A = this chain, B = another copy of it.
Amino acid sequence: MIRRRWDEELGISTLTPIRGIGERLAAWHAAGGARVDFVNCDVTDFPALLELFARVQPETIVHFGQQRSAPFSMIDRDRAALTLINNTLGNLNVLWAMREIVPDAHLVKLGTMGEYGTPNIEVEEGFITIEHKGRRDRLPFPKSPNSFYHLTKVADSDQIYFACRAWDLRATDLNQGVVYGLETDDTPADTALVNRFDYDGVYGTVLNRFCVEAALGYPLTVYGVGGQTRAFLNIKDTVRCIALAVEAAAVPGEFRVFNQFTEIFSVLELAKRVQHVAAAAGRAVTIDHLENPRVERETHYYSSVNTQLLSLGLEPHLLDDAAIGGLIEAADANQERIDRAQIAPTVQWSDPSRAMARGVRLNLRASGGAGVTAR
């Protein structure tokens, strides 16, 4: 629930009004949902976590208690430090508490496809068999995280893999793509169950932003060239993937990594999809290319394996015009809640005065020249 405090500090809020946890749980139970208990326990508080595990004796732990925004972690040192402590110290606590109280429980942890960065080879699910100088091994897939937030997710994954090797814990690391969509199968039962719709420069994700811009008749704001290519999934599939991971649990000592996404798009492709759907609904919008606030490659190869969740039975909800139209309508319905000042990027990855030399090197890298630097 700390998100509410951070939103206040940053002066941002979700487009959809989110009720208090008590009201949401009451609505859930009134709608006939299975029993959900709530305990207010901070994962960075180790004694509280031990006490909770001892009392509940969980068979499965789905760990979502993390700061999840890359721009938030790049605002300043204090937010980077908060992200490290909350995420990676919290993750360390979960592992030690499992070791001490429930070593046979199954940990399901949310990671991100962003851990891998954008390598020039196909991304595998967590591990890759490398042939090198006539020998071979299956090793963790090399990662190049591009924010302090992404760095914490890589550190978490490394910790969990170690705990599985050393302590015979069992875990599933879900490397999730960018989530879009507002409703799951359960949320329409009550307006109090609605999900967040973040569109701001810190917590908003790209498809949400485009749909809010389309609802306002604003230009769709692509960062840089827009060739940044990422993995996506519908929030309905997020929920299903977690259920699949829980139902077909890892075995003791096993560290599984599932790449949790259903489709791959470039940012510019998404902008064009939104533009097309908006136009069909009588909302003509243009596409603007803003200076990229992030340090990242804007054109690059991208491909990734995602077979494990599909083989467990995931049936993808692909991004169609109806899904995009629904998001634009949701934004339109909440027009009076849109803070227009929050749409533009507010966090710069780097001091612009140092960007020129870097731009030269990133371009070298994109064109295949490694140069003398470790890019």
- List A residues at the B interface (Cβ < 8 Å): 46, 76-78, 80-81, 84-85, 88-89, 92-93, 96-97, 99-100, 103, 119-122, 126-128, 130-133, 135-148, 151, 154-155, 158-159, 161-162, 164-168, 251-257, 295, 301, 349-351, 354, 357-358, 361, 370, 372-375
Query: Knowing that A140-B144, A147-B162 are A-B contacts, what are 18 other residue pairs whose CB atoms are under 8 Å apart, sorted by A's residue number?
Result: A81-B92, A84-B92, A88-B88, A92-B148, A103-B351, A103-B354, A121-B130, A121-B132, A121-B135, A127-B374, A139-B142, A141-B142, A148-B162, A154-B158, A166-B350, A168-B354, A168-B357, A253-B358
Residues of B within 8 A of A159 (CB): 148, 151
Question: What's the least CB distance linking A92 to chain B, in Å?
Answer: 6
A88–B81 contact, CB under 8 A? no
Residues of B within 8 A of A128 (CB): 130, 132, 142
Residues of B within 8 A of A97 (CB): 77
Residues of B within 8 A of A88 (CB): 84, 88, 155
Most B Cβ at <10 Å: residue of A135, A139, A148: A139
Residues of B within 8 A of A77 (CB): 46, 92-93, 96-97, 100
Residues of B within 8 A of A372 (CB): 251, 254
Residues of B within 8 A of A93 (CB): 77, 81
Given contacts A126-B374, A374-B127, A374-B161, contact A351 B121 (CB under 8 A): no
Given contacts A167-B351, A350-B167, A358-B253, contact A133 B142 (CB under 8 A): no
By beta carbon, the residue of chain B nearest A295 is B166
Would you give 21 A-B contacts (Cβ < 8 Å), ordered by A? A46-B77, A76-B96, A77-B93, A85-B85, A88-B88, A121-B139, A131-B131, A139-B142, A140-B143, A147-B162, A151-B158, A151-B162, A168-B357, A251-B372, A251-B373, A252-B357, A253-B358, A253-B361, A254-B373, A255-B373, A255-B374
Residues of B within 8 A of A85 (CB): 85, 89
Residues of B within 8 A of A164 (CB): 373-374
